[in-house]
Structure 1
Amino acid sequence: MGIKEIVDSLSYKEKKLLIALDDMGGVATPAEIMDKGIFDLEVEVMGSASWLNIKELATIESEQAEFYSIADRQKAEQGLFERRAVDAIGAAGGSLTMEGLAEAMPNGDDKIAVGWLKRKGLADIKKDGDSKILVLTELGKKALTEKMPDELLVDRLMQAPIPKSDVDPKSIKDLIGHYGLISEDVDVKKTIRLTDLGKEVASSGIELKEEVTQVTDTLIQSGKWKDVEIRKYDVQTFAPAVYPAKKHPLSRLGAEVRKLYTDMGFTEMDDEFVEPAFWDLDVLYVPQDHPARELQDTFYLSNPSKFDLSEYGDLVDTVKEIHENGGDTGSTGWGGEWSREMAEQAMLRTHTTVNSIKYISKHPEAPAKVFSLSRIFRKESIDATHLPEFTQIEGIVIDENANFDMLISLVKEFYAKMGFDQIRIRPAYFPYTEPSLELEVFFNGKWMELGGAGIFRPEVVEPFGVKCPVLAWGFGFERLAMLKWNITDIRDLYISDIDDLKKNRTF
């Protein structure tokens, strides 16, 4: 490319900077260029310099300088904790009780100061009966009339920042870490330098004309278009990526799940996060000695700590009888003595199956198809596949013709519509369903459990007058997302990395 072609490719600001650098001897900092009144903003200088650099007309050199400065001037003016303590002890004659120091340095500052006094050997702690007394050492007495090395360094920093190379690392360590008085800063000095090609282009007699990017009627009618340069449109010019707004992937997956169920004729339901154990466990025929009721598995609350079950009237007595002897269900129950006190315990719901049974209690008539997509809480250790708070996909079908084959078909139909075909059904046990199944999907080289399903036992539904089969299931929502997008760590779903959310094309 010849000199003329290079000049023609330059924008108005690039030409302006090129001429300025040539006038300044071929090298200058952005600040020096701005001091000449050539540009108003540093970003304009560096933007033009970047383009000159790309076109090999200039280079940008960076020199990094590290230095220390005062991070909190107000705290620095108050003085170090040990300085205030030494002065307080000195004012008391060289010794002071711990209580006296607490009065002189309230809000817990005295406790911090004592640690520094001992660490720096400024005071000893002696006992006088039940009292502890701080007594200045020789070093502490010396500090009454002389500033300590830390203080001298703070005084210097109060005047101006100090280069990192001029400070002893040992003396600065405590001021940064323990006091929070000092910050480490980095200053980057940039220098723009013309290349040999840049000098040649700059001395070629560049004509500097005002550049316009838009042709207007005023520009044409006034005749000003003759005196300006129309900026050329460059299809290869770099432009920042623009990302359209979009919903979080879990929100979109949730909408997909809801649409799938509503398309299948289901109605959405939900209920409270906080429930009595009575609804979450007892009504669902979970025995009161079941491991799920232990503190290590369930979040019990202190406020409220329990619910009054009297509003449920005879249902409480019915559930009690079912647990103890089966009641009128034909079951033998779990035996033992059912505890009303345990049933009154307030807890964060451990599954959304509580939504299902509460819905049945209000709408026992068949047919019915309902689902929920909502939060549940369990005392799980956080790892790649477990969270203590997660979302469950819940559903029930109340129908006279419902059976186990229908349940399996519904489960497989749901996951087929979500795009999964490697599905495995295996027998399982749940206290509230019989028969029961667990669903597994092949993921990341192994079978992953996604949830369970079954037909509600008579002990669960008969107290509400339901005589026909009730199909029920609960699936993991986050694990479904992991399968869908090949995510190996469930925690990644809730890390709000905006850059990843913008650029990720998987979801």
Structure 2
Amino acid sequence: MAELTLNEKRLLAALAKEKKADAEHLASLLDATPEAVVQWAHLAEDKGLAKVERIVEKQILPTEEGEQYRKFNLPETQLFALIRPGTQLADLQKHPAFKIGFGQLRKKGLIRVEGSAVLKNENMSTAAEESALRNPVSGESHTKKLIKRGILAESETVRYAISIIPEGLALVHQGLDLREEIGTLTRDQILSGSWKTASLRRYDVKKLPKTVYPGKSHPYQRLIDEMRQILLEMGFTEMHGEIVQSAFWNFDALFQPQDHPAREMQDTFYLKEEVSLPDGWECLRDMHEHGGNTSSTGWGGKWNPGKAKQCVLRTHTTSLSIQYLAAHPEPPVKAFCIGRVYRREAIDPTHTPEFEQLEGIVMDKDVTFRHLLGFLKEFYQRMGFSDVRFRPGFFPYTEPSVEPEIWVDGLGWVEMGGAGVFRQEVTDPWGVECPVLAWGLGVSRVAMLRLGLKDLRQLYQSDLEWIRNSPVHAPGAAGRKA
């Protein structure tokens, strides 16, 4: 038989007297916690000396709201008791229980309304519901209804009954060494030689230790941090900005026409606040109306400053890029942002109304479209995606435009975002004369592919089991260069 620990021996000795007892009672005898006693009992059970029973007890108890109704009766009962011949609806509306109680009375067919009069239906009462409130029976229909209303709630308690079996009792009768065990030798014990007669704790080198879960950040956050580190290593500066942006920076500054579908309420979260326009906004107005000082003809029509003052939850992080360029119009500029954006989307496994976007810009005298493709290819390869390709795209504020795609086994080519060279209509109002390469990439899409997820919502959940079992990525992992 495997060696017993001191705690297992103490438990068996206590059980020899008690025969069978709850973990809480044994814990009080052994000066330990119930959880520790259950653990010792399971060890003794594994060695065929004890038996552990897990007993689940279910109770149906009133909620805080239910406790009030136990004192004063259910809202429908309170109202039902007030109804007399000639009772008017207006009379009942004065009662605090009317809002809930009246609806319940009508739903259960206990009353009828004739004009402004409220009448009881014959042979009807709320006695069954009141009985269920005070003496709930599991599975009974009225009890179920009160649980659904949040008046009653099911609770579950677990207790452990531990007993000694004949083999354990025989071992106790043979005699147990209950001397204190020593797990770590001290200097004094070694010098004095007292260790020779001490009761040394034995170790089973084949037994797996208890799993220890180290503290770690969320897998999605680790992936975002990895992206950030890659871009910093590539020489980029991180830019930051507010979640609430004016429509001026979110749309107008990116040469999106004021009647563009993306600006409508079905796509954008508009706020009631407004902000003033920045200095030099007239240049942007001229760009929209007739192309300003460029060869562009603009969008035509009348540009509305009031519409540009509206505040929105940013729909993309490109609004931060154009503000950064306006503040840094001289080359070179090499900046990025990883931030949350907001759009009106129905929540499903592939869509949420808020998600992260990776934004990047490069501005210098001699940069070209080929440099843009090189930056994107380098980034995705460092993220572990070896096969990257590009196909033509269209965006209101870049020309030429491109959509990067990566190859994923089992899925094929997956589109990852949009990129291009900012149009002159975007950069000219801010005095930017050099080419600007820009991209906006989906962070959550990369995360789903890297983490092997099928439901986007899991990225925003604190699933401890998933977090504990997810590996921590090393700097050289996922195809990145060490």
TM-score by length of 2: 0.85
Tell me the SS of whatever aligns to 2:87. strand
Q: 2:69–2:75: 8 Å Cα contact kept in structure 1?
A: no
Read off the aligned partner of 2:463 and give its amino acid letter: D
Q: Distance in 1 between matches of 2:405 and 2:28?
A: 72
Tell me the SS of whatever aligns to 1:289. coil
Q: CA deviation at 1:413?
A: 1.6
Per the alignment, residue 439 of structure 1 pairs with 404
Tell me the SS of whatever aligns to 2:441. strand
Read off the aligned partner of 1:350 and give its amino acid letter: T
Among 100, 117, 124, the alignment partner of 1:133 is: 117
Per the alignment, residue 184 of structure 1 pairs with 154
Q: 1:30–1:46: 8 Å Cα contact kept in structure 2?
A: no
Read off the aligned partner of 1:280 and give its amino acid letter: N
Q: Distance in 2 between matches of 1:341 and 1:35?
A: 72
Q: CA deviation at 1:67?
A: 4.2
- How many pairs are equivalent? 470
Change in Cα spacing, 1:427 to 1:119, as seen in structure 2 (3 Å) is: closer
Read off the aligned partner of 1:173 and give its amino acid letter: K
Per the alignment, residue 56 of structure 1 pairs with 48
Read off the aligned partner of 1:148 and give its amino acid letter: A
Q: Distance in 1 between matches of 2:388 and 2:24?
A: 69
Q: Structure 2: give runs of 5+ residues left out of the alignment.
A: 474-482
Tell me the SS of whatever aligns to 1:96. coil
Change in Cα spacing, 1:384 to 1:448, as seen in structure 2 (3 Å) is: farther
Among 262, 282, 292, the alignment partner of 1:317 is: 282
Q: 1:209–1:227: 8 Å Cα contact kept in structure 2?
A: no
- Tell me if 1:501 matches 2:471: no
Per the alignment, residue 46 of structure 1 pairs with 38
Per the alignment, residue 99 of structure 1 pairs with 90
Per the alignment, residue 395 of structure 1 pairs with 360
Q: CA deviation at 1:119?
A: 5.2
Greater shift after overlay, 233-242 or 486-495?
233-242
- Tell me if 1:263 matches 2:251: no
- Tell me if 1:148 matches 2:121: no
Per the alignment, residue 308 of structure 1 pairs with 276
Q: CA deviation at 1:298?
A: 2.0
- Tell me if 1:82 matches 2:76: yes
* Larger-Rg structure: 1
Q: Distance in 1 between matches of 2:323 and 2:28?
A: 78
Change in Cα spacing, 1:118 to 1:259, as seen in structure 2 (3 Å) is: closer
Q: Distance in 2 between matches of 1:428 and 1:40?
A: 68
- Tell me if 1:200 matches 2:166: no
- RMSD across aligned positions (CA): 3.3
Q: CA deviation at 1:54?
A: 0.4
Read off the aligned partner of 1:97 and give its amino acid letter: Q
Per the alignment, residue 221 of structure 2 pairs with 251
Q: CA deviation at 1:195?
A: 3.6
Read off the aligned partner of 2:236 and give its amino acid letter: F
1:97-496 equivalent positions in 2, closer than 5 A: 97-103=88-94, 105-106=95-96, 109-118=97-106, 122-127=110-115, 132-136=116-120, 139=123, 148-155=127-134, 157=135, 169-178=140-149, 180-186=150-156, 188=158, 190-214=160-184, 229-237=199-207, 239-302=209-272, 304=273, 306-309=274-277, 311-312=278-279, 315-443=280-408, 444-496=410-462
Q: Structure 1: give runs of 5+ residues left out of the alignment.
A: none
Tell me the SS of whatever aligns to 1:301. strand
Q: Distance in 2 between matches of 1:264 and 1:254?
A: 16
Q: CA deviation at 1:55?
A: 0.2
Q: CA deviation at 1:152?
A: 4.1
Q: CA deviation at 1:423?
A: 0.8
Q: 1:60–1:190: 8 Å Cα contact kept in structure 2?
A: yes
Q: Distance in 1 between matches of 2:287 and 2:49?
A: 88
Q: Distance in 1 between matches of 2:441 and 2:220?
A: 15
Q: 2:399–2:421: 8 Å Cα contact kept in structure 1?
A: yes
Q: 2:385–2:407: 8 Å Cα contact kept in structure 1?
A: no
Change in Cα spacing, 1:42 to 1:226, as seen in structure 2 (3 Å) is: farther
Read off the aligned partner of 2:407 and give its amino acid letter: F
Change in Cα spacing, 1:247 to 1:177, as seen in structure 2 (3 Å) is: closer
Change in Cα spacing, 1:113 to 1:283, as seen in structure 2 (3 Å) is: closer
Change in Cα spacing, 1:68 to 1:259, as seen in structure 2 (3 Å) is: closer
Tell me the SS of whatever aligns to 2:336. strand
Q: Distance in 2 between matches of 1:476 and 1:416?
A: 16
Q: CA deviation at 1:272?
A: 2.6
Q: Distance in 2 between matches of 1:259 and 1:119?
A: 60
Change in Cα spacing, 1:244 to 1:66, as seen in structure 2 (3 Å) is: closer
Q: Distance in 2 between matches of 1:503 and 1:36?
A: 36
Q: CA deviation at 1:259?
A: 2.7
Q: Distance in 2 between matches of 1:466 and 1:168?
A: 72
Question: Over residues 281-318 of structure 1, what are the superposed CA-to-partner deviations in whole Å (9 max), with x where a residue is unaligned?
Answer: 2222222332222222222222x0x3333x42xx3332
Tell me the SS of whatever aligns to 2:254. coil
Question: Over residues 118-162 of structure 1, what are the superposed CA-to-partner deviations in whole Å (9 max), with x where a residue is unaligned?
Answer: 4556544333xxxx233445546xx7xxx924434544x4xxxx7
Tell me the SS of whatever aligns to 1:409. helix
Give percent identity, aligned residues only. 40
Q: 1:121–1:139: 8 Å Cα contact kept in structure 2?
A: no
Q: 1:95–1:136: 8 Å Cα contact kept in structure 2?
A: no
Tell me the SS of whatever aligns to 1:473. strand
Change in Cα spacing, 1:31 to 1:319, as seen in structure 2 (3 Å) is: closer
Change in Cα spacing, 1:448 to 1:83, as seen in structure 2 (3 Å) is: same
Q: Distance in 2 between matches of 1:284 and 1:323?
A: 10
Read off the aligned partner of 1:100 and give its amino acid letter: D
Read off the aligned partner of 1:428 and give its amino acid letter: G
Q: CA deviation at 1:236?
A: 4.3
Change in Cα spacing, 1:466 to 1:219, as seen in structure 2 (3 Å) is: closer
Read off the aligned partner of 1:133 and give its amino acid letter: A
Change in Cα spacing, 1:201 to 1:85, as seen in structure 2 (3 Å) is: same
Question: Over residues 13-50 of structure 1, what are the superposed CA-to-partner deviations in whole Å (9 max), with x where a residue is unaligned?
Answer: 322333343445xx412269649946665445433321
Change in Cα spacing, 1:235 to 1:450, as seen in structure 2 (3 Å) is: same
TM-score by length of 1: 0.81
Change in Cα spacing, 1:37 to 1:224, as seen in structure 2 (3 Å) is: farther
Change in Cα spacing, 1:256 to 1:133, as seen in structure 2 (3 Å) is: same
Q: Distance in 2 between matches of 1:335 and 1:430?
A: 19
